[in-house]
Amino acid sequence: MVDQGLAKSLKKEDHLYIVKIMRLKMIILILALFAFLSVSAGGLLYYYSFRNAAFQKNEAEFNSRLKLLSDQLSFHLSEHIKPVKTLSGIPEIKKVLQQTDLDTIFQANRILDHFKESLNVEVCYLMDKNADTICSSNRNSPLSFVGKNFSFRPYFKEAMNGLSSTYLALGTTSNKRGVYHSFPVYGDDTTIIGVAVIKASAEDVETKLFSNAEEPLMFVNTSGVIFISNLNTLRFNLLWQQDEDRLNEIMDSRQFGNGPWKWAGFSKSTDNFVVDRNQTRYLYSSLSVSNYPGWEIVSLRNYDLLAKQVSEPFVRVMGPVITSILILAGILVMVLYQLGVREISRRKKAEKELRLGEKRYRNIYHKTPVMLHSIDVEGRIIRVSDHWLEVMGYRREEVIGRELVSFYTPESRHYALNTIFPEFFKTGFNKDIPYTFVKKNNELIDIMLSCYGERDEAGNIKRTLAVSVDVTERNRVQKDLQQAKEQLSQYSQDLEIQVQKRTAQLEKAQKNLEKVSKNIIASQEREKAQVARELHDHLGQVLTALRFDAVWAEKLLADINTDVGLRAKKMCALIDTTIEDVRDMAYRLRPRVLDDLGLADALESLLSDFERQTHVSCVFKRHPTPEIDDTLSTALYRIGQEAITNSLRHSNATSITVTLGRDDEGVVLIIDDNGTGFDETNSREMDGFGIEGMRERANLVGGRLDIDSNATSGTTVSCKIKVKG
C-alpha cells in the first residue's frame, strides 16, 4: 500500500511536471511569435524612420548647398558694381561727355578697352544723357553699340536718377545674355551728364555655378522666365504657364528678347512638389537671391530617383541584419526553453543568495565609514550604523527608538520639523540639508544630510535611509576663506582709491605738460612768423635796393670797362638768387597764404611749390571742412609739410596725394604716396622721419596721427582732429 501510494505520488508529480513543461512550451511559443512580430514591426518602423531621417538630412544638405549657391550667384552678379562706379569717375570719361571730339572720344575708348580687358567682361560703353552710345569697347565689331539708343533700359533710367543699377537681360544688339552694371557720370557739379555701363556675360556665371548640377537648376525672374539654367532646353522658357497679359508684359519690357517664351511644362501639385508633362514628380526648392528682388534660384529633384537613392542603402545594409535577427530569435527560443526548465532550481538558489546578500548588506551598512541611519514615519530611529554611533559617542541601545530630532540643536530641530520633514514625506527625497548635531559630550558638529524614502506597495513611505556627512571642518575653512575675501576686498578698495588719486595727479601733470608744449610750439610759430616778416620786409627790401644799384652800375660801366660790366652783371644774378632764397626761407618759416587765405590754399600752394621744384606729381583734393582756429590750421599745415617732405626725401615717390576734408567728428588730413615705405617697428627709422614731432603736434591740438606704411604700396599719413560745435 505504501509502494502504491508512493507510486501515485510520483505519478502525480510527473503529471504536474509535464503540465508545467507544456505550459512552459506554450509560453515560449507565444514569446517566439511575439518576438517575430516585434522584430518585423520594428524593422518596418525603423525603415520608415530611416527613410524620413535620410530625406530630412538630404533636404538640409541640399538647402545648405542652395544657400551657398545663392550667395555665390549674388557675388558674381554684383562683382562689377564698384568697377563701373570707378569708371564713371575717370576725368577722360567726364570730358568726352562735356566736349565730344575725336581726341576725347579716342581717350575715352582707350579707357573702355582697358576696363574691358582688365575685368574680362563682354563690353564697356558710355551713353550721353539722351541714352545715345558715344563710346564703346566693341566699336569695331559688326555688333557695335556706338550710335545705339538704350533709353528703354531700366538701368539707364535708374542711373539718370542718380542710382547705381544692376540689370539682367538679353542684349537687343548682341542677342547675348548679360549682366548690366550702370552708374551715373557727374559733371563738375552734381549734374548727371551721362551713364557708364559694364556688361558682363551671363554665360560665364552659368558655366561656373550651374554646369555641375545633375537635376534641373534655374535662375528665374518674377514673370517666371528662366534666364540661367544648366539645361539648354530650359533657357528662356516659362517655368509656369502664364496668361496672355503677362506674356505681353514680358514682351513690352524687351528684357528677354522678342520671344516666343514656351512653357517648360512644370506645374505645382503641392507646396513642395511639381510635376512635368509626363507626370514625373519633382521636389521643388526655391531661394531668393540677395540684392536681386524678384529673382530666385529654383531646383527640381526627381522624387522617385531620390527615394530610390535613400532606400537602396537601407535594403542593402539592413536586409541581412533583419534576417540575422530572425535567425537569432529562433536560437533564443531554444535558449529560453532550456532556461525555463532550469528556472525552478535557479529560483531556490536565488532565494539563498538573496539571504546571503541581505547579510552582506548589513555588514556593509555597519562598516561603511559614513554616518547612516533610518527612521520610521514617526521620526524615530530604527537603525544606525556603527560609524554613526562612533561619531556621536552613543551606544546602540541608547539610540534606537529615540526621535532623530532629539539629537539636533533647537534651530535645526525647528527647521526639520516645520520645513524639511513635511517636504520629505511628500517627495520622498532630500539632498544636502544642513543640520547641527549635538554629540553625547555636548560637542556640536555640522553635517550635510541626504535621504530617500522606501515605499510600500501602496506608495506610502514606511522608512528612510539617510546619509550624514560631517562638514564641520569644511564650514570652518569656508568661514575663514570668507573673512580673507572680505579683507582682500577692503584692501582692493583702498588700493583703487590710491590708484585714482595717483591717476588724477598724473593727468594733471600731463595737462600741464601739454599746455607748456603747446605754448612752446605757439612761441616758435610766432618767432618763425616774425623772422619771416623781417626776412621778407627788411632784408628783401635791402636786397631789392642793392639790385637796383647793381643794375645801374652795370649799365654805367658796360661802356667804360667791359670786365667790370660783366662783374656787375654777375652781381645782379647773385642778388636775384639771394632774393629768391630769402623769399623761400620766409615762406617755409611762415607762409603768408596760411594767414591770409587759410589752410586749404596754403596746402595747395605748398604742393605747387614742391611739384615745381621736384617734378613729382602732387595732387590736392579739397572737400568742405569745418571752421578751425589758427592753432589747428598751423598744426595741420606743419604736419602736412613734414609728411610731404618725408615722401620726397626718403620714399622715392613719383606721386603724392593730399586730401583735406571732414568726418563725423572734425577735420581730416591725409597724405598718401606711392613710394617704398618704411618699417613701422623700427623706432630709429621712425625718429629719422620726424614722426614723433608730427604726433606731438597732433596730440597737442587733441588729434590723432595714424601711419600705414608698406614697402610695396607706399605710405599713408592720416591726421584726425576733433572740432567742437
At 482, the pLDDT band (50, 70, 90 cuts) reads confident
Has residue 4 got a pLDDT over 50?
A: no
The pTM of this model reads: 0.42
| Number of C-beta neighbours around residue 333 at 10 A | 16
Q: β-strands 703-710, 666-673: how paired?
A: unpaired
* Predicted pLDDT of residue 387: 83
What CATH number does the domain located at 79-205 have?
A: 3.30.450.20
What CATH number does the domain located at 370-470 have?
A: 3.30.450.20
Query: Alpha-carbon distance 601 to 603, whole Å?
Result: 5
Q: Is 342 helix (H, G, I), strand (E, B) or coil?
A: coil
* Grid cell 546602540 in the structure block, residue: 396
Q: What is the pLDDT of residues 266-299, one digit of tens each?
A: 888 776 788 888 888 888 888 888 888 888 888 8
Residue 451 burial (C-beta neighbours within 10 Å; 0-12, 13-18, 19+): buried
Q: What is the pLDDT of residues 577-604, one digit of tens each?
A: 777 666 666 556 656 667 667 888 888 8
Q: What is the pLDDT of residues 110-159, one digit of tens each?
A: 999 999 999 999 999 999 999 999 999 999 999 898 989 998 899 899 99
Q: H or E element: which one contains 459? A: none
* Predicted pLDDT of residue 336: 64
> By percentage, how much of the chain surpasses pLDDT 90?
11
Q: What is the pLDDT of residues 397-416, one digit of tens each?
A: 888 988 888 888 888 888 88
Has residue 539 got a pLDDT over 70?
A: no
Has residue 3 got a pLDDT over 60?
A: no
* Predicted pLDDT of residue 346: 67
List % helix, strand, coil for the chain (3-state, nearest 5): 55, 20, 20
Q: What is the pLDDT of residues 691-723, one digit of tens each?
A: 877 888 888 788 888 888 887 778 999 999 888
Residue 157 makes CB contacts below 8 A (sequence gap 6+) with: 151
* Grid cell 548647398 in the structure block, residue: 65
Residue 680 burial (C-beta neighbours within 10 Å; 0-12, 13-18, 19+): middle
Has residue 160 got a pLDDT over 80?
A: yes
DSSP string, 122-143: SEEEEEETTSBEEEETTTTSTT
Question: What is the CATH topology of the domain spanning 597-722?
Answer: Heat Shock Protein 90 (3.30.565)
| Number of C-beta neighbours around residue 128 at 10 A | 17
Domains 206-305 and 370-470 share a fold: yes
DSSP string, 675-698: S----TT-HHHHHHTTHHHHHHHH
Indicate the residue type of 595.
Answer: D
* Predicted pLDDT of residue 353: 67
DSSP string, 175-227: --EEEEEEEEEE-SSS-EEEEEEEEEEHHHHHHHHTTT-SS-EEEE-TT-BEE
* Predicted pLDDT of residue 117: 93
What CATH number does the domain located at 206-305 have?
A: 3.30.450.20
Q: Per mean pLDDT, which range of 63-77, 327-341, 507-521 is the poorest?
A: 507-521
Listed by start position, the domains of the chain span 79-205, 206-305, 370-470, 477-579, 597-722
Query: Alpha-carbon distance 598 to 667, whole Å?
Result: 14
Q: Is 29 helix (H, G, I), strand (E, B) or coil?
A: helix
| Number of C-beta neighbours around residue 256 at 10 A | 20
Q: Per mean pLDDT, which range of 533-542, 556-565, 602-611 is the poorest?
A: 533-542
User: Cell triple for residue 369?
Assistant: 565609514
Mean pLDDT of 172-195: 89
User: Cell triple for residue 664?
Assistant: 563725423
Q: What is the pLDDT of residues 438-466, one digit of tens each?
A: 888 888 888 888 887 777 777 777 778 78
* Predicted pLDDT of residue 197: 94
At 183, the pLDDT band (50, 70, 90 cuts) reads very high
Q: Roughly how many angstroms between the first and final C-alpha of the chain, as a whole number?
A: 130
